[in-house]
Amino acid sequence: MNILVTGGAGYIGSHTAKALAQAGHVPVVYDNLEKGHRWAVQWGPLVEGDMADREKLLQTMKEHSIEGAIHFAAYIAVGESMSQPERYFRNNVCNSLNLLGAMEQAGVRRIVFSSTAAVYGMPESTPIPEDHRKAPVNAYGEGKWMVEKLIEWFGQIHGFHSARLRYFNAAGADPDCEIGEDHEPETHLIPLALAAAAGRIANLQLFGTDYPTKDGTAVRDYIHVTDLADAHVRALDHIGRTESSVILNLGTGEGHTVREVIETASRVTGREVPVLERPRREGDPAALVADSRAARELLNWEPSHSGLEEILETAWRWYRRNEG
């Protein structure tokens, strides 16, 4: 099938485009390259366009005979969402509505949506199941939850089949080293730890050392980006084959503390990771770990690259290849 991949020049989008191509699909990347990279589009055509341009979205779907969409395009910095909420809601919510409207007009009824564990807010328990209460504590998470609801309504009214995938901490890089993580500015723990190990930044800032965890630092569920990409392709096939809609967590079900990530980064790189300890950031939960049993069962999906060592090793190979 010809699949529209919005934000396909970005980190997770580009890995998913590769997985789509490997599965025999044609990924048609739609990206304005504000955050994405032209070099990351290697497995299908690139349409340079903005998500606010509904007519261009519609034209792209018609010209490329699009049969389904995987929607990644969004701003992703949680802290920034709290200082610029209008910008985030306009880009992440209003532009998603543009996409859904263009899909309805073009007769495209299948969508896989890149959602987030941030819809859960401060978890009451872990691992977190899909039916956990939704109480986002930042504008980024609230926007993703709003788009999930929009997709649900388009399903009820227009017959859309959807997979809303809530994933936890995407990490690592393509094992073939063709693509990898490259954000500007970088806010994710693992690439920042590698940059500190390489001496590209003075230190890694560690926010919070007094959490009720085994070493006082926050616990997160790290999922390799290629495992995420595989789940998106499987979800697309599932909703098409069954003509159903699903909401699924994507994670390993195993959490690692920030200190464990730092220790693994030091071991993989063979270098010390200089650390500057800082107070907790407001709104950071002590632990976020996925209950992803439903994804494993429905999609016959199993994370196969998400051991912390392999995540760091692939990320470090990518970092060294692109260093400087």
- Residue with structure tokens 């270098």? 271
**Three-state DSSP class for residue 114:** strand
Report whether 5 contacts 108 (CB < 8 A): no
- Cα-Cα end-to-end distance for the chain: 38
Residues counted in the chain = 324
Is residue 140 flagged as an active site residue?
yes
- Whether a cis peptide bond, with omega within 30° of 0, leads into 274 is no
Choice among 11, 88, 120, 140 that is catalytic:
140
Tell me the sheet residues that pair with 128.
290
Q: Which amino acid is at 9?
A: A
| H-only helix segments in 45-179 | 54-63, 78-83, 85-88, 95-106, 139-158
**CB 217, CB 6: distance < 8 Å:** no
* Residue 121, C-beta contacts closer than 8 angstroms, at least 6 positions apart: 133, 134, 135, 136, 137, 141, 285
How many other CB atoms sit within 10 Å of the CB of residue 93? Answer: 19
Alpha carbon distances (Å) from 212 to 95, 129, 257, 310, 318: 39, 21, 11, 27, 34
What sign has the CA pseudo-torsion 289, 169, 225, 272? negative
Catalytic residues: 140
